[in-house]
């Protein structure tokens, strides 16, 4: 009987310190992601205070995503070279002061500048992914990276915490102060409970140029394209949904943020399940189904509110087509689940194909996903300003998934033997 998908406990032991490192890293990443996404809520009162357009709101919300994406490649390489523990710790400390200073600025350009520094927190993904992966045997790396990636649920955490802070204090200025202290405390806790293993640095003993040279591999760009949809789309929608609920359904900020968390929470927490599914059924098969589920959901979400009249034999009849808040939230919940699984399955590709360069490759793929998360909110705002159609953001996402499905069909045929071998392993 094949044990490809059912490894025995004795065949792949987990070293001492692995689980403590994983849980401390996951907690740290959750806080980092919550802070990275804080403009999803903080941007609502700022938009009203500064009189921002939808495009400007999208730019404000996406600015931290830009810097957090651009630093992912060097952070991944530094993690390979110097170790994830020290890089993660220093990265968190560097963001504490900029987060605090946001409370004292009241102009758009100042917020954008500080947002770039706060965005460094988002680069923590490219540090933590290779850091925790190397603590586990290959048969469990998908699960380990999935658990760590569940820190994406920080997007939901900020939707629960930030509105409460704003309403309790009566001002948005309290949020950056609380988040700054939270980041400092998290950095200290991470350093206390995480571990280092010098042996993990041997996988990245080559120089900078040697590490970057492997990025010419076309598989890296293929996985980047997948990730720009499942992660970039997740970040963009997580930033946009609170505003969407307020504008489209007229909810207050607390209710809108809570409903938006129905997308963000499964999109983060269930990433661990996506890692397990990818370990069991293979990265290609899992990603393929993720794209199809997303395609159907975005088709339904794209349809704008419509009123039309038809002429029948008995006279004109009018119809109104629109998604109710409940149905809309259910569809977003489904998309959140699909994206959570897809984010894990893409990184299973990486752990399978680039065992000795996980940091560098995850940095590039994370960069592509992050850039998607930066560009999409701005495009959401531009489309809303140009067309006046609220659901235009979902029309754009529908188009990106269509392109992804076509590209995946024609470019990833070489990955299909993986699926076959996994199916054989399951039935042998």
pLDDT band at 8 (very low <50, low <70, confident <90, very high): very low
Q: pLDDT tens-digit profile of 394-420?
A: 999 999 898 888 877 776 555 444 443
Domains, the chain, with CATH or none = 18-308+319-422 (1.20.1250.20)
pLDDT at residue 420 in the model: 39
Contact 277, 299 (CB under 8 A): no
Q: 216 burial class (0-12, 13-18, 19+ CB within 10 angstroms)?
A: exposed
Report d(CA 351, CA 129) in Å as an integer. Answer: 10
pLDDT band at 426 (very low <50, low <70, confident <90, very high): very low
Instruction: Name the residue among 230, 209, 169 with its Cα closest to residue 42.
Output: 169
pLDDT at residue 12 in the model: 62
Q: 314 burial class (0-12, 13-18, 19+ CB within 10 angstroms)?
A: exposed
Contact 243, 45 (CB under 8 A): no
Higher-pLDDT residue of 142, 368: 368
Helix (H) or strand (E) holding 53: none
Q: pLDDT tens-digit profile of 9-32?
A: 444 677 777 889 999 999 999 999
Q: What is the dihedral of CA 339, 342, 346, 347, to 10 degrees?
A: 80
User: How many other C-beta atoms lie within 10 A of the C-beta of residue 331?
Assistant: 18
Q: pLDDT tens-digit profile of 218-275?
A: 788 888 888 999 989 998 998 899 999 998 999 998 899 999 988 888 877 787 788 7
The answer to whether residue 6 scores a pLDDT higher than 50 is: no
Contact 374, 66 (CB under 8 A): yes
């Amino acid at each position: 009987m094949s044990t490809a998908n059912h490894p025995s406990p004795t065949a792949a032991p987990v070293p001492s310190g692995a689980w403590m490192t994983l849980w401390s890293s996951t907690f740290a990443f959750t806080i980092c992601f919550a802070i990275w996404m804080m403009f999803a809520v903080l941007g609502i009162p700022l938009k009203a205070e500064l009189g921002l357009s939808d495009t400007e709101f999208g730019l404000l919300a996406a600015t931290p995503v830009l810097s957090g994406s651009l630093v992912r490649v060097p952070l991944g390489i530094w993690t390979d070279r110097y170790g994830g523990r020290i890089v993660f710790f220093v990265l968190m400390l560097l963001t504490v002061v900029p987060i605090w200073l946001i409370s004292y600025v009241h102009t758009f350009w100042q917020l954008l500048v500080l947002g770039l520094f706060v965005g460094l927190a988002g680069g923590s993904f490219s540090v933590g992914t290779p850091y925790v992966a190397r603590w586990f045997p290959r048969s469990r790396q998908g699960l380990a990276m999935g658990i760590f990636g569940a820190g994406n649920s920080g997007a939901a955490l900020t939707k629960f915490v930030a509105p409460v802070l704003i309403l309790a204090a009566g001002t948005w200025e309290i949020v950056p102060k609380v988040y700054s202290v939270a980041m400092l405390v998290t950095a200290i806790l991470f350093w206390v409970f995480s571990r280092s293993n010098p042996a993990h640095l041997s996988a990245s003993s080559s120089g900078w140029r040697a590490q970057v040279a492997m990025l010419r591999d076309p598989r890296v760009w293929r996985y980047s394209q997948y990730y720009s949809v499942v992660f970039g789309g997740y970040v963009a929608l997580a930033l946009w949904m609170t505003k969407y609920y307020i504008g489209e359904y007229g909810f207050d900020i607390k209710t809108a943020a809570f409903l938006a968390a129905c997308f963000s929470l499964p999109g983060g927490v269930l990433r661990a399940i996506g890692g397990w599914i990818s370990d069991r059924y293979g990265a290609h098969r899992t990603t393929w189904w993720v794209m199809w589920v997303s395609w159907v959901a975005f088709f339904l979400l794209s349809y704008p509110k419509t009123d039309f009249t038809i002429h029948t034999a008995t006279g004109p009849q009018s119809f109104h087509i629109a998604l109710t808040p409940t149905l809309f939230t259910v569809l977003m919940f489904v998309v959140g689940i699909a994206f959570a699984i897809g984010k894990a399955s893409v990184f299973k590709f990486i752990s399978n194909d680039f065992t000795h360069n996980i940091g560098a490759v995850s940095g590039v793929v994370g960069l592509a996903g992050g850039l998607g998360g930066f560009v999409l909110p701005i495009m959401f705002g531009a489309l809303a300003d140009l067309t006046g159609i609220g659901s235009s953001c979902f029309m754009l996402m529908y188009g990106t998934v269509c392109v992804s499905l076509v590209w995946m069909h024609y470019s990833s045929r070489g990955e299909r033997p993986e699926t076959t071998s996994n199916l054989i392993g399951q039935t042998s």
